[in-house]
């Protein structure tokens, strides 16, 4: 019997232009106010329906666990349950390009891509809102990754509002070896009473009325205040030295990005950073699908 051709889908990374920690809910989740942007760094996922029941997951990046806790596994299982499909079988291959443990939403983006793709494969007709409700059961960033573009994210990240798009520009993203402890940073924010400057309101104003320089001036991330790391600050300063209009850590880290108005300057910065760092990318903002 002829082997079916895999369906290919792409999962886009995200950057946090801002991330404000506002406090903690009684259930332990933290309240956030963020501006997030989809960017042109993609994982590639290949899905092949099979006659064999279950989910067969493979990943080309060493060290990525493919068991039941993988977000792709969770997404596929949740989809089958919600769709009432008890005899489903699918093989999924992930070709990773988004760095892991970077604050770029790689796992959430992969889960979102799986929900979209399986909705198409099985012709279940779930709306985007229904997929977002499913995605929230996997992770707070999955609804954003399903919608994409330029968004304000409130609540725990699930309350999404489109904002004015980021003007044409180039992001250079660098993932250093150092890791940021999300749990430790949130714990410190709790001890500090989350009494940090608010970055999101100024960013929203800049997106509405300002140019790229003003937007770059409004970048900010509470995680870098809760748990400052010299390696992160040194990388941010390196971006500024190499001509970035602004630079900031994304998510809970540890990737740092700089904003450039011209590709030539961005490429020059990437080549310089590659002398020291393994994971360096040039990318652009991506609109909502």
Q: Which of 14, 74, 96, 175 is catalytic?
A: 14
Tell me which residue of 170, 144, 166, 145 sits closest to 157, measured CA to CA.
Answer: 144
Contact 249, 232 (CB under 8 A): yes
Element spanning 247, H or E: strand 246-249
Provide the 8-state DSSP code for 138: T
Please report how many Cα atoms fall inside a 13 Å half-sphere around the Cα of residue 176, on the Cβ side: 19
Angle between helices 106-121 and 71-83 (to 10 degrees): 30
Provide the 8-state DSSP code for 217: H
Tell me which residue of 237, 236, 289, 283 sits closest to 104, measured CA to CA.
Answer: 283
Question: Which residues, 6+ apart, have CB-to-CB distance to 97 below 8 Å?
Answer: 41, 42, 43, 44
The CB density around residue 36, as the number of other CB atoms within 10 Å, is 27
Q: How many residues does the chain have?
A: 289
The span from the CA of 8 to the CA of 44, in Å, is 7
* Cα 88–chain centre separation: 29
Contact 242, 40 (CB under 8 A): no
Q: Which of 20, 110, 141, 175 is catalytic?
A: 141
Using left for φ > 0, alpha for ψ between -120 and 50, and beta otherwise, residue 157 falls in: left
The span from the CA of 269 to the CA of 258, in Å, is 9
Reading the block at residue 211, the tokens are 């140019």
69 as an active site residue: the answer is: no
14 as an active site residue: the answer is: yes
Enumerate the active-site residues. Answer: 14, 141
């Amino acid at each position: 019997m002829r082997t079916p051709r895999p369906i290919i889908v792409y999962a886009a990374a995200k950057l946090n232009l801002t991330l404000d920690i506002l406090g903690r809910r009684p259930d332990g989740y933290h309240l956030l106010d963020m501006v997030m942007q989809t960017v042109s760094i993609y994982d590639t996922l290949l899905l092949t329906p099979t006659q064999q029941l279950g989910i067969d997951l493979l990943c080309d990046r060493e060290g990525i666990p493919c068991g039941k806790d993988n977000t792709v596994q969770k997404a596929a299982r949740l989809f089958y349950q919600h769709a009432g499909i008890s005899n489903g079988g699918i093989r999924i291959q992930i070709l990773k390009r988004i760095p892991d443990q970077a604050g770029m939403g790689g796992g959430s983006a992969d889960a979102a891509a799986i929900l979209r793709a399986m909705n198409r494969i099985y012709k279940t007709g779930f709306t985007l809102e229904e997929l977002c409700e499913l995605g929230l059961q996997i992770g707070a960033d999955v609804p954003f990754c399903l919608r994409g573009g330029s968004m304000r994210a409130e609540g725990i990240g699930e309350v999404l509002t489109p904002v004015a798009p980021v003007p044409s520009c180039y992001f250079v993203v660098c993932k250093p070896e150092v890791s940021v402890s999300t749990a430790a940073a949130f714990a410190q924010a709790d001890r500090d009473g989350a009494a940090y400057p608010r970055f999101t309101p100024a960013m929203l104003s800049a997106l509405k009325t300002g140019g790229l320089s003003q937007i770059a001036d409004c970048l900010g991330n509470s995680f870098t205040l809760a748990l400052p790391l010299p390696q992160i600050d040194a990388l941010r300063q390196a971006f500024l030295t190499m001509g970035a209009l602004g630079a900031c850590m994304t998510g809970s880290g540890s990737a740092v990005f700089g904003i450039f108005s011209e590709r030539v300057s961005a490429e020059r910065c990437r080549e310089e950073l590659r002398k020291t760092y393994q994971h360096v990318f040039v990318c652009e903002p991506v609109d909502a699908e």
